[in-house]
Amino acid sequence: MDRGVSPQADLFVYNIGQLCTMAGPARPRRGAEMADVGLVSRGALAARDGMILAAGPESEVRDGVALAPGALEVDAGGRVVTPGLWDPHTHLCYAGSREEEFAWRLGGRAYLEILAAGGGILSTVRATRAASDHLLLTLLLSRLDQATASGTTGIEIKSGYGLSTAEEIRLLRVIRAAAATHPVRVVPTFLGAHAVPPEFRGRTDDYTRLVIDEMIPVVAADGLAEFCDVFCEEGVFDLAQSRAILRAARQAGLGLKIHADEIAPMGGAELAAELGAVAADHLVHVSQDGIAAMAKAGVVAVLLPGTSLTLGSPYAPARELIAAGVPVALASDGNPGTSPTESLQAVLPLAARTLRLGPEEVLAAATVNAAWAVGRGRVSGTLEPGRYADFVIWDVPNYRYIPYHYGSNLAYEVYIGGSLAAREGVMVREQ
Ligand code: NIG
Ligand code: FE
């Protein structure tokens, strides 16, 4: 290797059979752009201090960078490398589980009916409020291990199972503590408006005021969340309440996200566009106007097919969204009610089959577009010089195998900031 003026790499990954750089414009991919994975055959990747120096054909990368003394050299063995997955929508900070309710739903009871009767989200609120900080942190960290070992290198985590000022802040502090000890990159989101707690039953406007007047100011002042989200849904928060909450959040300096048109058409997508939300999520019942408004405003559509599968509900109109020029991302929605998983990888084969996304679109949706859906697109989501060295070595013959095969963990090694975080499904911790 050239030892002249070339930058010195402390990590060099070579013998990559297929390298999907996802390189492209510094904005979310839309339309036909989603079919371009920036494919390089026989690739290599060089990094320094956790950032990519070069990623491309092996001969070019070898010529362009020198190796620092003691640099780590990794033989990818002809495997596939992609950017690490970004999971831009999860509710993984909770206690308890809801397999009983799942069985009721299989028997025909509706999700919103169970919630209205005090179950659903509210049963997880009871279990979460009763759990100690230590238990919540332990549970969250073990879920983050699962996520990382399956290829997730960045993840959004929402509060929303506290539903009082003190409890919501407690959950955001647990999320912050988890982020401080776990290698995965964490984006915290405040979701105080996830459901109306029992203390406010029948008084949704009063609870909305509490979220606006008490919770949002504290969350913003303490820097506990980057985004504010609302469950805009029939019988939960209506359009006017959602608008009021999101406006207050924007005023307080938080970015905006929204659970939009998940179970009933509510105008959530239109609201996301109106307020300049970074993303609108679910969109199973999005209207034509909503699609057009999102395309115009550049709102990312975060689709959650694991939730449709679990609820037995229809799937979001992914093809229509892509055809209209809306950037599409994927997320796990990891939560105990509608998507009990930590693995975004598990959602990729589902997305191919149920949303009819091609393999390239699936990868774009779970990397570059997912990073933009949480405001991280400028620093991650692609393997280009200057981005984080967050990537997965997949034990597959080619990248199209990733959404094709399902049911086992295909992530061979997972790197975050240039350090090995997991190998063959197990976290690797520095000694
Ligand atoms: O995204 N819809 C609201 N929130 C979650 C479900 C949370 C729960 O059921 O505990 C969702 O589907
Ligand atoms: Fe959700």
Over residues 375-415, the pLDDT tens digits come to: 999 999 999 999 999 999 999 999 999 999 999 999 999 99
- pLDDT over 70 (residue 3): no
Atom of ligand 1 nearest to the CA of 282: 1
Q: In the predicted model, what is the mean pLDDT of residues 80-107?
A: 98
Residues with Cβ–ion distance below 5 A, ligand 2: 333
What percent of the chain is predicted at pLDDT more than 90?
Answer: 98
Q: Span 255-264, mean pLDDT?
A: 96
Tell whether ligand 1 has an atom less than 6 A from the beta carbon of residue 413: no
Query: Global pTM?
Result: 0.97
Distance, CA of 143 to CA of 141 (rounded, Å): 5
Q: Which atom of ligand 1 is nearest to the CA of 333?
A: 1
Angle between helices 347-354 and 359-366 in degrees, nearest 10: 130
**Per-residue confidence (pLDDT) for residue 431, from 0 to 100:** 56
For the segment 300-304, the average pLDDT, to the nearest whole number, is 98
The answer to whether the CB of 336 is under 6 A from ligand 1 is yes
Q: Is 124 in the pocket of ligand 1 (CB under 6 A)?
A: yes
3-state secondary structure of 157: strand
| Residue in 87, 229, 335, 339 to alter for ligand 1 test, most ligand atoms within 8 A of Cβ | 335
> Rounded mean pLDDT of 101-129?
96
Exposed e or buried b per residue across 208-222, where buried means at least 16 C-beta atoms within 10 angstroms of its C-beta: bbbbbeebbebbbee
pLDDT at 336 over 70: yes
Q: How far is CA 374 from each of CA 225, 307, 407, rounded to the nearest angstrom?
A: 12, 19, 27
Residue 292 confidence (pLDDT) above 80: yes
- Please check the confidence at residue 1 and state whether its pLDDT lies above 60: no
Is the C-beta atom of 343 inside 6 A of ligand 1?
no
Identify how many contiguous H helices and E strands the chain contains and give both numbers.
16, 17
For the ranges 1-10, 164-173, 305-314, the lowest mean pLDDT is seen at: 1-10
pLDDT, mean over the chain: 97
Residue 430's pLDDT is 75
Q: Which residues pair with 193 in a beta bridge?
A: 230
Q: Report d(CA 301, CA 115) in Å as an integer.
A: 25
Among 245, 286, 280, CA closest to 263:
286
Q: Taking the CA atoms of 293, 299, 305 and 306 in sequence, report the sign of the dihedral they define.
A: negative
Q: Cα(189)–Cα(167) distance, rounded to whole angstroms?
A: 14
Q: What is the pLDDT of residue 91?
A: 98
Identify whether the C-beta of residue 33 lies closer than 8 Å to the C-beta of residue 367: no
Banded pLDDT at 6 (limits 50, 70, 90): confident
Ligand 1 binding pocket includes 55 (Cβ within 6 Å): no
Please state, for a pLDDT cut of 70, what percent of the chain lies above it: 99
Q: Which amino acid is at 300?
A: V
Cβ of residue 121 lying under 6 Å from some atom of ligand 1 = yes
Residues comprising the chain, all counted: 431
**Confidence class of residue 7 from pLDDT cuts 50, 70 and 90?**
confident
Q: How confident is the model at residue 4 (pLDDT cuts 50, 70, 90)?
A: low
SS3 of residue 399 by DSSP = helix
Per-residue pLDDT at 2 exceeds 60: no
Amino acid at 422: A
